[in-house]
Amino acid sequence: MSYIQESLSEGEQVVRVFKQHWVTRVWLVIWILLIVTIPIAVYEWLRLRTIEHGVTNKRVIFKQGIISRHTEEMKLGSIETVEIDQGVWGRLLGFGDVKVTGRGISDVVFRTIDDPMEVKRQIEGVSHPVAS
């Protein structure tokens, strides 16, 4: 079970889980091609497998860690801005960083995320729903 699923509070539902762009696996492929470095490739594979990004109906969540765990979470009511940072390669290949800024000095950053514009729309759609 993923960390996001495991950490849901009562009444909280996952709205969307985001995936990292394929370009994040370039180093994994390079290490695999260099057979001597299989332990490094295994570590990189495990590192990438343990990264989770998502948004629920109550918060934005980022989690990483193979054995230890590091999480960054922000309640939807605390979100002030959702920003995208994309370089030239990110624009061409469809990846970028999404920075969720909250009240005070807190930030949650999704690095090298696939389709950052869609991630931004999803987060803003949940945190600032359009009134019907």
For 24-38, what is each residue's pLDDT tens digit? 888 888 877 777 677
Q: Are 13 and 57 in contact (CB under 8 A)?
A: yes
pTM to 2 decimal places = 0.73
67 is written with which tokens? 């054995």
Residue written as token pair 């600032």 = 128
Q: Check residues 132 and 99 and name the one with the higher pLDDT.
A: 99
Write the pLDDT tens digit of every residue in 48-77: 999 999 999 999 999 999 999 999 999 998
Structure-block tokens of residue 123:
């987060």
Greater confidence (121 vs 42) lies with: 121
Q: Name the band, by pLDDT with cuts 50, 70 and 90, for residue 42.
A: confident
Residues in a beta bridge with 101: 81, 107
pLDDT in tens, 74-109: 999 899 999 999 999 999 999 999 999 998 778 999
**Whole-angstrom distance, CA of residue 61 vs CA of residue 54:** 5
Q: Please give the full DSSP string across 15-74, using - where no structure is assigned.
A: EEEE-B-GGGGHHHHHHHHSGGGHHHHHHHHHHHHT-EEEEESSEEEEEE-SSS-EEEEE
Q: Which fold has domain 3-127?
A: PH-domain like (2.30.29)
Q: What's residue 104's pLDDT?
A: 79
Residue 120's pLDDT band (boundaries 50, 70, 90)? very high
The DSSP secondary-structure symbol of 88 reads H
